[in-house]
Structure formats: structure tokens, C-alpha cells
Structure 1
Amino acid sequence: MTGSLKRFDEWLNRELEQCARDAGEDVNTYVARAVASKMVADRRLAESVAVASLMEHLSASGVFAGTDMPSVSTVIADPDRLRALYATGLLDSPPEELYDRITRAAADALDAPHALVSLVDVDRQFFKSASGMDLSKPEERQTPLDRSLCQYAVANGEALVLEDARLDPVFQHHPAVQDGTVVAYLGIPLTDHDGNSIGTLCVYDDKPRLWGTGHVQVLSDLAGIAAERIFGPGNSQAR
């Protein structure tokens, strides 16, 4: 394959070539990544134990390799931020109905299949609560930090809005975007009165979404409720 697919007509092949150019890739790379994303999605739907092995091989083969994401490690590893996070006592804590109500409300209000209260540690992302995800097993309640989009909202201290991350020049290279887990994302940092963001309330979808100011406001209001629960009344802000 040098720039066309046999079962595509001339018009479809031109569109394929244009889509690959828009993504900054050649056709072979673009098609390989699209097929790999479909393979991962199908394995996840089948709840196959082979997903981890598949992801490992795809990464090792370079299918999901791209420009490195910008490093935010200085902010994430900031001692004051980590002290604020650890002081909450929420890392590795069991689910609580109050936070589950918030994630359910966020998913319902924004008509999103997934919502999370995520806490960003120095080397991992821990899910205090989730809607649309099964957190019944301990290993399902966290991911390595390189799988986290929330770390970028935390590092910037402001809402992260991605309507189609596959088209974003930076976030199209994120592992969770490349494997099709996240296409649209909206995350609001959970920030204490000293300006330390410890995590987010976020929603995401595996399809593009148009996030309006109303969506941002609703999620910010719900994040404010979560932050007040974490840091105490009058001592919190959700940015």
C-alpha cells in the first residue's frame, strides 16, 4: 500500500490521503493506527484479557509511537502539590457515595458515557469515583501517569477542553487518544485555597463532542462541590 486502498474508489482514496496529511502522517501509518485502535476497542468490548498484551505489542512495534507529549513533571512533582494531595487521605481510599453521586450527575448533565474524580499522583492516576467504568477490582482504580489526560488540566490549573483530540496537534499523540479510549475530554481541576490542584472532575467520550460554555459551567459547579467536600467549605475552588 503506497497511498490507496484496493476497495476504496478514487474519491475515497483522495479523502484517505487528505486525512493522513491532516494528521501529519503517511497513509500506511494512518491506516495502521486506525486499525490498531479498532483492534483495541474490540478487545475492550469483549472484555478480553488480551488487551494489555495487544497494547504492549502495538507500542513496542511503534504503531502508537509519536511525538512525545510535553512534560508537566515539574508541576506534578511539586512538593506543595503532593503534600496537598496526600493530606486529603483519598489516595487508595474506598469508593464513597458522595463522590459517586457527583460523577453520575456529571455524566448525566453532560450526556457523557464516562465521568471521573481522578487524583494525580507523582507516577499514577487514581480514580476516587467513576461513572461508566467498573472499579470493582483494585487494579482498575488506577492507571500509569502516561495514560492520564487529567495531569495536563492539573498542571495548567484550568479547564482542559478537547472536542476531538485526534485533531489536536499536541493531544493526538497521547496514548489514550491514539488507542481510541478518549476522543473528547473536558476536565476541571480540583484546587485548594493555596492553588494546589490535586486532580480533576472530568468527562470523556470515544466520539467527538462540542463542549459549550454551559457544559464547562455545569462541570465547574460540580467540581466545586467535590472540592468543597475534599478541602472544606470556603477553603476550596474548582478552576
Structure 2
Amino acid sequence: MTSGLPSFDDWLNHQLVECAREVGEDVATYVARAVASRMVSDLLQAENPSVKELLARLSESEVLTHEGMPDVSAAIGDPDRLRALHRTELLDSPPDEVYDRITRAAAAALDAPHAAVALVDVDRQFFKSAHGMGDGSVEDRQTPLELSICQYAVANGAPLILEDARRDPVFRNHPVVRGGAVAAYLGMPLIDHEGNAIGTLCVFDSKPRLWSTGHVQVLGDLANLVGERIFGSGAGTDAKRPRSAIPPG
């Protein structure tokens, strides 16, 4: 497919070509990405756990690939950070009702369909707890790192607030945003006593959201509870933070 769709008339096909040109894509890529976004949206609405595999396969096929995301591999691969993460012994650990209560509370308090305690490893994102994200099977509890938005909150060591990532000059290029899985995101880094961010407590929605100061405060308080559970008293989102790894957008 290079010029249009057989079910479109000439005017519609002209508009299709123009829309694709506006975002720097050919028609085939533009249509494939639109179909992928609809598939992701339908599976999300149905709470179908295969949405994660769909996103992973779309990323592997490069349907959602787009240059423009900042490289935070140095911060994510920092040896001190990784040692702090592995010391927690939470990677690949079974579900824990304490964390599940916190993610349920986060989703309820912010009226968000999805919430998670996400741990960011060097090549993957593992969900210690997840609300509204499948049936809790092993496959549902991790994603490839390239599908992680949380890695950017971890790399910055600071809250990440996206009200409509589709319009953000940086995050509109992220695969899960391009795929339609995430439009609004609010994530709080989980930081140990030495300033190492190992993951986040986050909420997200496939629709845009206006996050208020109250939302940020509530999620920050809940993230502090997660941090105290992991690291002991005095850790959480208010510990010493590493230098920002993401240029301002």
C-alpha cells in the first residue's frame, strides 16, 4: 500500500496521504500504526491480558518504533542502582497483598484504571503489584524495557507527570503512547537511603487526564509507604535524588 485504501474515495485517500505526510510517514506505516493503536485500545477496554504481548510484538516488528526518546541507559544500567534493586530480592517474587492494597488504593484515590509498583531492571520492567493489568500470570508481570515509561521517572529520580503524552514533544514518541496504551501517566520513583531509584509507584490511563496537586500528593504519600516497606523508615520519594537524565521538553 503506497497511495491509499481501496474503500476510500479520492478525497479520503488524499487526506490520508496528507495526514501521513504531516507526521513524516508513508501511508502503509501510518495505517499500520493506526490499526495497532485500535487493537491495543480494544484489548485494554476488554482488560485482555494479551495486550502486553501485543505491545511487545508490535515493538519487535517496529510498527511502533520511532526515534526521539532520550537515551537513559547510563542511569538505568548504573551498577549502584542495579545492586540496590537486586538487594531488595523483589524481582520475580510472588504477589504480596501489602503491595496489592497500595496499588488498589492508588487506582481508587486517583480514579485511574491502572496502577502498578514497577521495578526497573537493566532490560525489563517487573511488576511487583499491578491493578487493572491482566490476571497476574507470570507473563503479565513483566514487559521489555523499551515498553517502560517508568524507566524515565527512575532515571530522573523525580515524579513524572504526563497529562496527555500524545502531545508531549518527547513522550509522544514512546511505543506505548504511539500504540494507544498510555495517554496520561503519573509516576513516583521509589528511592532508597542512598538515592538509588529502583522503580515507581505509578498510575496511568489510555485517556488524557488532568493531574491535580492533590493527586500528586496522594500518590507521593502512597509511594512513601511502598518505599518504607522496601527500604525501611525514611526512604521513598523524598530521599536524595540523582541528577536528571531527561532533557526538559
TM-score, L = length of structure 1: 0.84
Q: What number of residue pairs does the alignment pair up?
A: 232
Aligned counterparts, 1:214-233, within 5 A: 214-233=214-233
Aligned counterparts, 1:72-221, within 5 A: 72-221=72-221
Give the structure 1 partner of residue 236 of structure 2: 237
Query: Which secondary structure state, in structure 2, belongs to the residue aligned with residue 238 of structure 1?
Result: coil
CA distance in 2 between partners of 1:84 and 1:126 (Å): 15
Give the structure 2 partner of residue 56 of structure 1: 57
CA distance in 2 between partners of 1:57 and 1:81 (Å): 29
Provide closer, same or farther for how the CA distance between residues 54 and 189 of structure 1 changes in structure 2, counting only shifts above 3 A.
Answer: closer
The answer to whether the 8 A contact 1:135-1:141 is kept is no
CA distance in 1 between partners of 2:76 and 2:21 (Å): 34
The answer to whether the 8 A contact 1:3-1:17 is kept is no
CA distance in 2 between partners of 1:8 and 1:46 (Å): 38
CA distance in 1 between partners of 2:117 and 2:168 (Å): 24
Provide closer, same or farther for how the CA distance between residues 50 and 217 of structure 1 changes in structure 2, counting only shifts above 3 A.
Answer: closer
The answer to whether the 8 A contact 2:52-2:140 is kept is no
Amino acid at match of 1:56: R
The answer to whether the 8 A contact 1:192-1:231 is kept is yes
Q: Deviations along 1:55-112, whole A, 9 cap, x unmatched? A: 636753x532311421111111111111111111111111111101100000000000
CA distance in 1 between partners of 2:67 and 2:164 (Å): 18
Provide closer, same or farther for how the CA distance between residues 7 and 211 of structure 1 changes in structure 2, counting only shifts above 3 A.
Answer: farther
CA distance in 2 between partners of 1:48 and 1:102 (Å): 21
Provide closer, same or farther for how the CA distance between residues 213 and 157 of structure 1 changes in structure 2, counting only shifts above 3 A.
Answer: same
Provide closer, same or farther for how the CA distance between residues 98 and 203 of structure 1 changes in structure 2, counting only shifts above 3 A.
Answer: same
Amino acid at match of 1:96: D
The answer to whether the 8 A contact 1:40-1:55 is kept is no
Amino acid at match of 1:195: G
In the TM superposition, residue 40 of structure 1 has moved relative to its aligned partner by 3.1
CA distance in 2 between partners of 1:53 and 1:153 (Å): 24
CA distance in 1 between partners of 2:167 and 2:24 (Å): 12
The answer to whether the 8 A contact 2:37-2:180 is kept is yes
Q: Which runs of 5+ in 2 are unaligned?
A: 239-249
The answer to whether the 8 A contact 1:106-1:222 is kept is yes
The answer to whether the 8 A contact 1:81-1:197 is kept is yes
Query: Which secondary structure state, in structure 1, belongs to the residue aligned with residue 95 of structure 2?
Result: coil
CA distance in 2 between partners of 1:9 and 1:69 (Å): 34
Quick one: percent identity of the two aligned structures?
A: 59
Greater Cα offset, 145-154 or 169-178: 169-178
CA distance in 1 between partners of 2:134 and 2:174 (Å): 23
The answer to whether the 8 A contact 2:56-2:144 is kept is no
Amino acid at match of 1:237: G
Q: Which runs of 5+ in 1 are unaligned?
A: none
In the TM superposition, residue 35 of structure 1 has moved relative to its aligned partner by 2.6
Greater Cα offset, 121-130 or 39-48: 39-48
CA distance in 1 between partners of 2:128 and 2:68 (Å): 28
Amino acid at match of 2:140: E
TM-score, L = length of structure 2: 0.81
CA distance in 2 between partners of 1:148 and 1:3 (Å): 33
Q: Deviations along 1:201-224, whole A, 9 cap, x unmatched? A: 000001011112111111000000
